[in-house]
Structure 1
Amino acid sequence: MDIPHQRLVYFQVTVEAGSVRQAAARLDIAPSAVSRQLSLIEEALGAPLLERSRQGVVPTPVGDMLLDYCRRRAALDDAFSEELDAYQRLETGHLSLTVGEGFVGDLLDTPLRTFTEHYRGVRLDVNTGSTNAIIEAVVQDEAHIGLMYHERVHPQLRFWHSSRQPLMALMSPSHPLADTQGDLPLAWIADHPMALWRTGHGVRQLVDEGFRDAGLRPQLSMQTNSLSVLLHAARSDLTLTLLPAFAAARELEDGRLVARGVDCDRFRQAHAYIVTRVGRRMPRAGLQLLRHLERWMRAFNSRAHRLPPSA
């Protein structure tokens, strides 16, 4: 049924007013204009809509059906307006993030908790993945936002924000290199067993590039796809690992691990990135979350890469 909305308004007002003349007065138009619009509806439906009674005009059976339609349509319009208003106030919505595992602790400690407390109607889906998986999720619109470490150029990625987050040597306070002053030469690190991400991970790619540039090979004792395994291995005296400091913020703060800088330009220039797909229109809640992450995550704080005072 293709009847203009304003024409339906004339019909509903006429029924509620009880006469064409009263409806015209409410609408501030001529009675002939109201009659003309009613005739056009009857012509479109092929049935009369109104009949006269002692109380004025009343709807016919078809008129009753149309009146019910008008009221249900008005209720849907009101419901949509309320939903849209709630969405624009960031009270409802759905956002999906795909992030490197190293971001998870940083993400959940404060940023997402405070965001969800403030915007309780916004549902968040958080998934983890490798750098390639993050890029694919963002490019394929499976994720509104991606958090990744070590830049991977892609024509469909928009880099919203970045922060320098050097790759650090993380180890137990009792590790032989823990008390060394200044940045550690790669040659020293190469003499000690290391636990590293599996090949293909963004951090592992950066590690391999740094050692290759220096003409060295890391002494790999363990590789894994789990951040938890890397941190547990680093807390032992047997191995050290290479990660950005934000990935082990809790362990560094409570003293279970220490971080040492590494004398490697590639490691020093590494960055953390917030990415979205080029051309994707972000919902208002998504824009608010982007600003929230930039402000509250250690990974995007310009001071986050500084070593603890004990270093």
Structure 2
Amino acid sequence: MKVNDHRIHFLYEAWRSGSMRAAADLLEIAPSSVSRQIAQLETEIGTPLIEHGRREISLTDAGHAVIDYYRARQTGLELLEGQLLEISTARTGHVEIAIGEGFLGPALYDTLDDFMDDYSGISLTVSVTDTTKMMRLLLEDEVHFGVGFHPVSHPQIVSRYRATVPLMAIMNTEHSLSQRRSMTMEELCAEPLALMGPNFRIRQMIDEAAINNGLMISPVVTSNSIALLARMALADRAITVLPAFSVSAELASGQLSAVSIQTPQLQSVYVHLLARRNRRFPAHLSELADQIRKRLLPSALSSSNE
């Protein structure tokens, strides 16, 4: 069977954009051209690839198979480019990763500095985002890999590495509970709280833990900024709930305290290095992922145990 990758590209963009019109805008061509290319592709393959008569693109099983083929081929080309990059020592290209805000700090910065020193010809995009959006970016091949908290299971996303990092109650050292070794969910929910928004996995796990204990979470401050949440704790306006490594500098300086929360859901939180299933990494990507695994995630664990 002869498969036209150029036509598959039109199908891929229509599927990714959600409609032929959106794909046409992206490709800067007429919608009829996108429709015609997909129709010709269906004729070549001999089976419908989309469910016709719908405004939004919905793939048939055959359409999903063709998209999987196309993505595997693109990944293979990326791997080949990486191998040729190593052979030629030109060391040029682009790397895109996604990471949660809580990982921003010296360990990450040093890792990126070393990578950019070793691969000075490679440009880098780092998207700071929540785990839910990170999953979408991985599925759509917008990023090569991501580092995030306790993602919801998805058949097309795999964890290349994971480490356990408990969530802790973070508070000002002058707070009446700051010298405790642990506190209950009831005690936590009775305090003013500053928490991540409901789209963040950290918040979802806190909500689940509260519900499992017959409690309700009602934060006085909600934000997508860990820096702001830490500021609320520093000002002794609220307790926040984060992994200890997210505020390691403030803990080390004695400005904040971390108290364990007595609930299993918050003691078994995993940090994952995530990638799309079957995505193969060229050498430079594997090296960056390995350095993050060795330097960033272990540092998170050691901070959480302090």
Task: Report if TM-score (shorter chain) is over 0.5.
Answer: yes
Q: Which deviates more, 237-246 or 99-108?
A: 99-108
Per-residue CA distance 1:6-29 (angstroms, 9 max, x = gap) = xxxxxxxxxxxxxxxxxxxxxxxx
Specify the alignment match of 1:118 in structure 2. 118
Q: How far 1:106 moved relative to its partner?
A: 5.4
1:91 paired to 2:91: yes
Q: How far 1:91 moved relative to its partner?
A: 3.0
1:266 paired to 2:257: no
Specify the alignment match of 2:34 in structure 1. none
Specify the alignment match of 1:203 in structure 2. 202
What is the SS of the residue equivalent to 2:215? Answer: coil
CA distance change for structure 1 residues 87 and 132 in 2, over 3 Å: closer, same or farther? farther
* Alpha-carbon separation, structure 2, partners of 1:93 and 1:162: 27
* Alpha-carbon separation, structure 2, partners of 1:135 and 1:103: 17
Q: Please tell me whether the aligned partners of residues 248 and 303 of structure 2 are also in contact (alpha carbons under 8 angstroms).
A: no
Q: How far 1:298 moved relative to its partner?
A: 4.1
Q: How far 1:142 moved relative to its partner?
A: 0.3
Q: Which runs of 5+ in 2 are unaligned?
A: 1-80
Per-residue CA distance 1:71-118 (angstroms, 9 max, x = gap) = xxxxxxxxxx9x935566583321101111112225533221222223
TM-score by length of 1: 0.67
Over the matched positions of the two proteins, sequence identity in percent amounts to 27
Q: Please tell me whether the aligned partners of residues 172 and 257 of structure 1 are also in contact (alpha carbons under 8 angstroms).
A: yes
Q: Please tell me whether the aligned partners of residues 149 and 269 of structure 2 are also in contact (alpha carbons under 8 angstroms).
A: yes
Number of residue pairs the alignment of both structures matches = 225
CA distance change for structure 1 residues 88 and 105 in 2, over 3 Å: closer, same or farther? farther
Q: How far 1:256 moved relative to its partner?
A: 2.2
- Tell me which structure has the larger Cα radius of gyration: 1
Specify the alignment match of 2:177 in structure 1. 177
**Which amino acid in the other structure matches residue 280 of structure 1?**
R
* Alpha-carbon separation, structure 2, partners of 1:191 and 1:241: 13
TM-score by length of 2: 0.69
RMSD: 2.1
Q: Please tell me whether the aligned partners of residues 86 and 92 of structure 1 are also in contact (alpha carbons under 8 angstroms).
A: no
**What does 1:123-134 align with in structure 2 at a 5 Å threshold?**
123-134=123-134
Q: Please tell me whether the aligned partners of residues 191 and 219 of structure 1 are also in contact (alpha carbons under 8 angstroms).
A: no
Q: Please tell me whether the aligned partners of residues 295 and 301 of structure 1 are also in contact (alpha carbons under 8 angstroms).
A: no
* Alpha-carbon separation, structure 2, partners of 1:163 and 1:89: 34
Q: Please tell me whether the aligned partners of residues 172 and 258 of structure 1 are also in contact (alpha carbons under 8 angstroms).
A: yes
Q: Please tell me whether the aligned partners of residues 158 and 278 of structure 1 are also in contact (alpha carbons under 8 angstroms).
A: yes
**Which amino acid in the other structure matches residue 228 of structure 2?**
V
Specify the alignment match of 2:28 in structure 1. none
Q: Which runs of 5+ in 1 are unaligned?
A: 1-80
What is the SS of the residue equivalent to 1:220? Answer: coil
What is the SS of the residue equivalent to 1:171? Answer: strand
Specify the alignment match of 1:188 in structure 2. 187
